[in-house]
Amino acid sequence: MRPETWLEQLSHELATRGLTPVDVASIVVELQGHLTEAGGDPLGVFGSPAEYASRVAASIGPVEAPVRRPGRPRIRVRDLAMSYRRRPVLRGVSLDVRAGEVLLLVGPNGAGKSTLLRIVAGLTRPTSGHVAVSGPIGYAPQSGGLFEHLTPAEHLVLFGRGRGLTRARAQREGQHIAAQLGWDAMSDGQVVGELSGGTRQKLNVVLAGLGDPDVLLLDEPYQGLDWESTRRFWELLWAWRDAGRAALVVSHAHDALDRVDAVMELGVPSREVAR
């Protein structure tokens, strides 16, 4: 069987087993790379598309966010507005994120999702409105925030010191979080400038979780991750939520809608989609 035909049939089989389009695409892209390198008949390498899809679906299991009762508000935003050079980016945004809750921000490009996270993080001052945050913040930007010539282990020590952690505790906590994402941060001797985009995102998530912050601000946190790392990310985020943390997440991935407790659409005007 031709690899193209095998992959096409696999996509169909994965979809019929309930995998999201994002997961299906990630799996197909990864297997396409393996087939290109290995060559040969995919039936001989992986078996039939139906058999392989069944194994993948069984290994992933159901990916659904369990319902939890949230606690007191950790993030409160009221009538927030932001303009750049007289161009409105945010208009009258109000939202609450409670302890034990994950709120997803959605909206078109330019709607101000990343800007809102930066304002809540205290990195950008709004034009008007009010933001109140209860507890320490862990922030993972969509890009940047890392030092190109430092290794992941050096980042753990540097960011850990900023959270009041000793070298040993920062490395221990960072290694524990990274392991939950399927990554050995301490043994990765490459500097950040040599890391893949997906590994950089893992490092940003790990750094955001150092010191057990009460509030997590995550901007496209699993962009560039493969399906297994994506599954691990959501399990980690749910564990943080179940421990009482509040998370405000930006993502364009459609599968995120089914994995959070509430959704806020930013636009003109912004509106709550579901809670």
How many whole angstroms separate alpha carbon 250 and alpha carbon 107?
Answer: 9
Given this model, what pLDDT does residue 257 score? 85
Q: Tell me the C-alpha to C-alpha distance, in Å, between residue 175 and each of 50, 179, 225, 235.
A: 37, 6, 18, 17
**Alpha-carbon torsion (101, 102, 108, 113), positive or negative:** positive
Q: Is residue 161 helix, strand or coil?
A: helix
Alpha helices in the chain (DSSP H): 3-16, 21-38, 42-46, 49-60, 113-120, 152-162, 167-180, 197-209, 227-242
Instruction: Tell me the pTM.
Output: 0.75
How many whole angstroms separate alpha carbon 124 and alpha carbon 242?
Answer: 29
Q: How far is Cα of residue 19 from the mean position of the Cα atoms in its chain?
A: 18
How many whole angstroms separate alpha carbon 259 and alpha carbon 4?
Answer: 31
73-274: what fold? Rossmann fold (3.40.50)
Paired with 216 in beta bridges are 138, 247
Given this model, what pLDDT does residue 28 score? 79
Q: Tell me the C-alpha to C-alpha distance, in Å, between residue 17 and each of 12, 26, 57, 219, 256.
A: 9, 15, 7, 29, 18
Q: Where are the beta strands (DSSP E) in 58-190?
A: 73-84, 87-98, 101-106, 128-133, 137-140
Do residues 54 and 80 touch, judged by C-beta distance below 8 A?
no
Given this model, what pLDDT does residue 61 score? 63
How many whole angstroms separate alpha carbon 188 and alpha carbon 170?
Answer: 16
Given this model, what pLDDT does residue 143 score? 84
**HSE-up (13 A, CA, CB side) for residue 248:** 29
Given this model, what pLDDT does residue 20 score? 72
> Tokens representing 101?
């809750």
Do residues 171 and 186 touch, judged by C-beta distance below 8 A?
yes
Q: Is residue 70 helix, strand or coil?
A: coil
Q: What is the CA radius of gyration of the chain?
A: 20
Print pLDDT tens along the chain (275 aa).
788 888 888 888 887 777 776 677 778 777 777 777 667 788 877 888 888 888 888 877 655 545 557 789 999 999 999 998 888 899 999 999 999 999 999 988 888 999 999 999 999 999 999 999 999 999 999 888 899 999 999 999 999 999 999 999 999 999 999 999 999 998 888 999 999 999 999 999 999 999 999 999 999 998 888 888 888 999 999 999 999 999 999 998 877 888 899 999 987 455 555 55
